[in-house]
Structure 1
Amino acid sequence: METSVFLAVMAAAALHASWNALLKIGLDRFLSAALMQMAAGAVALCTLPFVAFPAAEAWPWIALSALLHIGYNTFLSRAYQYGDLGQVYPISRGSSPLMVALLSVLLLSDSLPKGQWLGLLTLVAGIWLMALRSGHRAAPFNAPLLFSALMTATFIAGYTLSDAVGARANGDALSYSMWLFSMSGLVMGSVLVAGRGTRVLRQLGPHWRNGLLGGGLSLAAYSIVIWAMTQAPVALVSALRESSVLFALLIGNLLLKEALPPIRLIACGMILAGMLLMKLA
């Protein structure tokens, strides 16, 4: 992987951890996620006059990804009801790279050398180690948290592969990203109103600033990732993106006052070692 792509994915990781932290502020988790996705869609909508219209081959993947993002936000918000940021984030984000790696080899003909496989496995092991102890609980896991986090990971793997194929088919990552976010925001808004009625929009109103901030961060983070997946193997980008758990750990500790036990520091070392292996292999 070229250094420019590597650094871009690291920047995306920091942005992604930041908007996830905003899910724990203000509204209930699903409403927060919905607000941010709709805000990201609104920002993306403003860019559409300046980007190309997607190729016909990209539209099925845009539609599929928009639907998969609904499932992702649903299970992510549920997971945060049962665990803190430092626990939910590692489980959900740490499980998806293995799914993506295996499926990308089978479906996309991507390949990784042995050194990068070793780095990927080391990084994933570090992420899971980070989740072994919650910041506020003695017990490492509970069943609803584990189920919701693993379902979140499944949807992450699904939309990651969908967007990799779609962006490659489109030949223009920026165009694909902006249209994807526009459609995702529209779909999320429709699902929200259908499920909770138009009165829910009044609930969201006072929180529009946090929503716009989180939506903008989400838009920037994932647009970078989509571009990176057109430049490097999907499995590699997916795994490196999940180094965002390091940023989530810092945010959880410094801003949300979540505990930082020694085991998570060891996990950080493993994640950094995995990143180094993947960069140098």
Structure 2
Amino acid sequence: MTVALAVILAGVLHATWNAIAKGAADHAVSFAVIALTQTLLTLPVLPFTGLPDAGAWPWLTASIVVHVVYMGLLLKSYELGDFSQVYPLARGSAPLVVALVAATLFGERLSWPQFAGVAAVCGGLGVLAFAAGGRRDPRAIAAALLTGASIAAYTVLDGVGVREAGGALPYTTLLFAVQAPITVAIVAAMRGRRLVTALDRRQWLLGLGGGVFAMAGYGIVLWAQTRGTLASVAALRETGVISGAVIGAVFFSERLGARRVAAACVVAAGVVLITAH
């Protein structure tokens, strides 16, 4: 139960930093500020955490590439769609893919209640996405689904890699120490001087906080993946979409509605099924 609660907290942290990025005047620059924070936090401590074991390096390298692609797809999703639609659709499409891949390639097996829980979480999150009010841009839906595919990809890669790393801390530190500067460099190439001027002081401070939330949240997930199945950890993490729905309603004035409340209850029931094993 400790692992489950930690992963649920990671989902809340993830929804929070995504809302910070979505609410900024320039989404790309906000992503860069978040990544800059991660760079400043990880590079100084990298000599003290040590490097992951050699068996983790192929998985880590592939994960860094996928994470960079993921950030680009997530950025495009937020440019095209509403937070309360894009966020749950991207996050909700990933756990079922992870469950299928983990069962097919790595022999992980879920009990029937756990499998039903994963399906309930995915279904509830899908309703949360399509019951949202606002824009219905097919490009936003496509970008969100591609984002979900990238989430599933790095979840599997990191789930295997962290188990080969000899510890979650060296793997997490090196992942952010390499991926975050790449993200900053890409946005700097895109925005130039606007990287410094596009956001006001408040948004810079929020971005710095978002970087801490992002790294802490994913560090928790990587730790949890050394103690639970990939599918159950992935599904539990996506319960942060409930927080995302509340954030969308409160801070972005996006309609919550009865169907979305019911969908959130389905997600909660799925969590109970996943953790009751």
Letter in structure 1 aligned against 2:111: P
2:257 equivalent to 1:273: no
Letter in structure 2 aligned against 1:181: F
| Cα deviation, residue 123, structure 1 | 1.0
| Cα deviation, residue 39, structure 1 | 1.8
Report the more deviating stretch, 128-137 or 150-159. 128-137
SS in 2 for 1:23: helix
| Cα deviation, residue 204, structure 1 | 5.9
SS in 2 for 1:271: helix
Match of 1:179 in 2: 174
CA contact (8 A) 1:64 1:162 kept: yes
CA contact (8 A) 1:69 1:184 kept: yes
Letter in structure 1 aligned against 2:36: M
| Cα deviation, residue 32, structure 1 | 1.9
Letter in structure 2 aligned against 1:202: V
Letter in structure 2 aligned against 1:32: S
Alignment TM-score, normalising by the size of structure 1 = 0.92
1:38-78, Cα deviation, whole Å (9 max, x unpaired): 32222122322331222122222222211111111111111
Runs of 4 or more above 3 Å deviation: 203-208
Residues of 2 paired with 1:223 and 1:121: CA distance? 25
Alignment CA distance shift 1:203-1:110 (3 Å): farther
Identity %: 36
| Cα deviation, residue 164, structure 1 | 0.9
Q: 1:187-198 maps to which residues of 2 (within 5 A)?
A: 187-193=182-188, 195-196=189-190, 198=192
Alignment TM-score, normalising by the size of structure 2 = 0.94
Choose the corresponding residue for 2:117, options 110, 116, 119.
119
Letter in structure 1 aligned against 2:180: G
Match of 1:9 in 2: 7
Report the more deviating stretch, 255-264 or 10-19. 255-264
Alignment CA distance shift 1:118-1:79 (3 Å): same
Alignment CA distance shift 1:247-1:191 (3 Å): same
1:186-235, Cα deviation, whole Å (9 max, x unpaired): 22123233x42643443367543222111100000000000101100001
Choose the corresponding residue for 1:160, options 155, 175, 184.
155
CA contact (8 A) 2:89 2:145 kept: yes
Alignment CA distance shift 1:120-1:188 (3 Å): same
Aligned residues: 275
**Structure 2: gaps of 5 or more residues:** none
